[in-house]
Amino acid sequence: MIRRGDGLKSGVLALVVALVASSAIAQAPAPVGFKVGDGRLHLLAEVDSRFDSLVGYFERAGVPSPEIIFAPRVGATFALESPGTLVKFGANVEYLIFSGLLSPSSRQLSRPQALVSLDTSFNRDGAVSFELGDTFTRSDRTQNPSAGIGVISLFNSLYVAAPIHPGGRALEITPRITWGVEFFEPLLTGTTTCPPGDITCNPTLVSGMNYSNLNFALGARYKFLPKTAIVLDTNFDLRTYWNPSIQNLPAQILRGRAGLAGLLTPRFSLTLLAGAAYDFGPTQRAAPIGQAELMYLVGESTSVAIGYLRDMMPVPVYGTVSVDRGYLNARLGFLGDRLTLNGTAAIDYFTFFGPMGTVSTRSDLLIGVNVGPSFVVTSWFVIGASYGLGYRTSTQTSQTAINFVRHEANLRLTFRY
């Protein structure tokens, strides 16, 4: 079974620097696109070349197999925005080509992947507006924190909301319903280090994690300053599984958070939320939740944010999992925003629960880092590069699907109109 996990070379950086030195430093104009009614349609074509140190375990058992991957991608975006209406649509389809140059057996992993998203809002300037949207993905990056690498995820999330603005627009109350489904399939079958009945990583059983998740939410924001608000957020997750014969614990998680979000000064933005979550399902667990984030805004194209997030989520097999995340996000813009340097870093600690009266022995630590530059050569041509590090370790030490180190280096050429 192959494995999945959650690129910046000196030569690539030298190329970017050379392009900067030979280009005008004025801001590149935005892509023109095609006018469609009151909106604009933009077309996209990209080519990724990527080195991945962990595409599977093909050559020797337990030893990660590296590979060079090429990913041609085509897509389109459409945007229409007016005081009363917002429509944003984006879609792209890619085909991952595993070259077999480093690990010949990896060629069988070549496959299509896709991302489609739609966000709409109507009667935005009225007392009651209406929002509808959907996100669809097919990839090897799952929404399921209990799954190991080597899983393909087909995920769809549909939402509907009705923001209410009583009186003026200082107060906004938003009821919202989101329905998410996720289906799993193995990238390959084969010998694994998983226990025979473990559906989180056994390739013949991963479809047993297929789920449906209904989320009912009611949020409120009161702006006591132009860009600062008091926030109240309550929501309820109802998690069920498509195959009742599989031993997944359902979950009914109620969450409530309240706090402050917005600008403290023209340069500093703060999010500070605190609350609690409780599962009315079999785990009967309670946990404090919240978020604290401080962002420094240097300018329109430069910002640094550091934060901590704690939440409780439904998860296959175990019922619920608590998530502790510390993160850092940075974006630095130079030369009129033609050159940007982007970086993210996160540390996640997952504590898996079990049925009431029992304690799960599983906890996972994940560390992720991604850094790299992007350079706008012209309004229709962008060069990007990145390096990503993924590290995961679990108390389930015998399972290579959830204990790994992964390096990914990427060079991307983007053509857009």
pLDDT tens digits, one per residue of 323-353: 999 999 999 999 888 999 999 999 999 999 9
Taking CA atoms, 415 is separated from 27, 70, 89, 383, in Å, by 17, 16, 18, 9
Average pLDDT, the chain: 88
Tokens of 290: 């919240």
pLDDT tens digits, one per residue of 112-124: 999 999 999 999 9
Give 150's Cβ-side CA count (13 Å radius). Answer: 32
> DSSP of 199-216, one letter per residue?
TTT-TTTGGGG-EEEEEE
Calpha distance 113→15 (Å, rounded) = 29
Average of pLDDT values for 376-404? 91
CA 399 to chain centre: 24
pLDDT of 300 reads 76
Distance in angstroms between the alpha carbons of the first and the last residue of the chain: 40
Q: Is the pLDDT higher at 289 or at 191?
A: 289
pLDDT of 14 reads 37
Least confident of 93-97, 203-207, 343-347: 203-207
pLDDT tens digits, one per residue of 36-78: 988 999 999 999 999 999 988 877 767 888 999 999 999 999 9
What is the three-state SS of 332-369?
A: EEECCCCEEEEEEEEEEEEEECCCCCCCCCCEEEEEEE
| CA-only gyration radius of the chain, Å | 23
pLDDT of 189 reads 52
Tokens of 254: 């109620």
Calpha distance 251→245 (Å, rounded) = 16
The answer to whether the CB of 72 falls within 8 A of the CB of 47 is yes
pLDDT of 17 reads 34
The greatest distance separating any two alpha carbons of the chain, rounded to the nearest whole angstrom, comes to: 67
Whether pLDDT at 241 is above 70: yes
Residue closest to 410 by CA, chosen among 44, 73, 2, 77: 73
Residue 19: pLDDT band (50, 70, 90) is very low
Whether pLDDT at 18 is above 60: no
Q: What is the pTM of this model?
A: 0.87
Number of Cβ within a 10 Å radius of residue 38: 10
Give 252's Cβ-side CA count (13 Å radius). Answer: 4
pLDDT of 24 reads 34
pLDDT of 202 reads 77
List of residues 6+ apart from 275 with CB closer than 8 A: 233, 255, 256, 257, 258, 288, 289, 290
φ and ψ at 13, to 5 degrees?
A: -60, -40
For domain 32-324+349-363, the CATH architecture is Beta Barrel (2.40)
Domain locations in the chain as residue ranges: 32-324+349-363
Tokens of 331: 């974006």
The answer to whether the CB of 188 falls within 8 A of the CB of 203 is yes
